[in-house]
Amino acid sequence: DGGITQSPKYLFRKEGQNVTLSCEQNLNHDAMYWYRQDPGQGLRLIYYSQIVNDFQKGDIAEGYSVSREKKESFPLTVTSAQKNPTAFYLCASSRLRDLPNEQFFGPGTRLTVL
Amino acid sequence: SQQGEEDPQALSIQEGENATMNCSYKTSINNLQWYRQNSGRGLVHLILIRSNEREKHSGRLRVTLDTSKKSSSLLITASRAADTASYFCATDYNSGGSNYKLTFGKGTLLTVNP
C-alpha cells in the first residue's frame, strides 16, 4: 500500500533532550512538509522540502531541524531549544512542488515533554 | 502569513441534517482546499476548488468559493454519524520561486448525533 508512515505514534521526552520523529513516504512525491498542531488549533508549518538535499523554514522553525537525504524520508528533530514542544506533529507530502495539489498526511506523532 | 478562519468553531447536528461550514481568508489565493481530521489522526483531503471556479461537488460534499468576499463554504448533505470530525480549510500562497505551501485555519468541529 502506498502512503505516509510516521513513527513513533507516541513519544515522551525529558526536558533538555533532543528527539527525532520519523516520516517516510512511498508515493514518490517530490515535496514533504512538517506541521505542528496544538489542541483546538489549526496546523502550523515547521519546515518543508521541495527536493532532496534542500529544505526551507516554515512559520515556526525555531527549535526544530530537518534533513532530506532521500526522497522518501524527511525526519524532524525537536531540539532542547524548542521551549514548548508538547504537541501533535503531522508529516505530509505532495506530488508536485510548484503547482496546486493535495497534500497526503501521515497518522501523526504525539510528543509529550515530561 | 494569511490564514483561513472557519466558522463556526463547533457545530452539532442530528443525523440526516445538512451541515454548513464557512471559511474566510485575507488575501488573494490560487485555490482553496478542504480537509477532514478524525480525532487524533492525520488529515484527509476532501476537495480542491480553484480561484476561477465558483462551485464544486463531490458525493455529498458541495463547496462554493466567492473570491470577491474572500470566503468559501463546505456543505455536507444528509450527514451521518461517521461525518463527525474536524474540518479545515487551507489556502495556498506562493512564497516565491517554485515553492508551494498551504496555510490552514483552526477548523470547525462537527458532531453528528445519531
pLDDT score of B96: 57
Contact residues for B26 (Cβ-Cβ < 8 A; gap 6+): B2, B3, B70
Average confidence (pLDDT) over A51-73: 95
Is A7 an interface residue toward B (CB < 8 Å)?
Answer: no
For the stretch B53-110, pLDDT in tens is 999 999 999 999 999 999 999 999 999 999 999 999 999 866 555 556 888 999 999 9
pLDDT score of A5: 97
CB contact under 8 A, A103 and B99: no
Judge contact between B51 and B65, C-beta under 8 A. Answer: yes
Q: Which of B23, B24, B45, B108 is the mutation pick for testing A, counting most A CBs within 10 A?
A: B45
3-class SS string, B9-32: CEEEEECCCCEEEEEECCCCCCEE
Contact residues for A39 (Cβ-Cβ < 8 A; gap 6+): none
pLDDT at A2 over 70: no
For the stretch A32-41, pLDDT in tens is 999 999 987 8
Contact residues for B96 (Cβ-Cβ < 8 A; gap 6+): none
Average confidence (pLDDT) over A37-54: 91
Partners of residue A106 in chain B, C-beta under 8 Å: 42
Is A39 an interface residue toward B (CB < 8 Å)?
Answer: no
Is A27 an interface residue toward B (CB < 8 Å)?
Answer: no
C-alpha cell at B97: 520561486
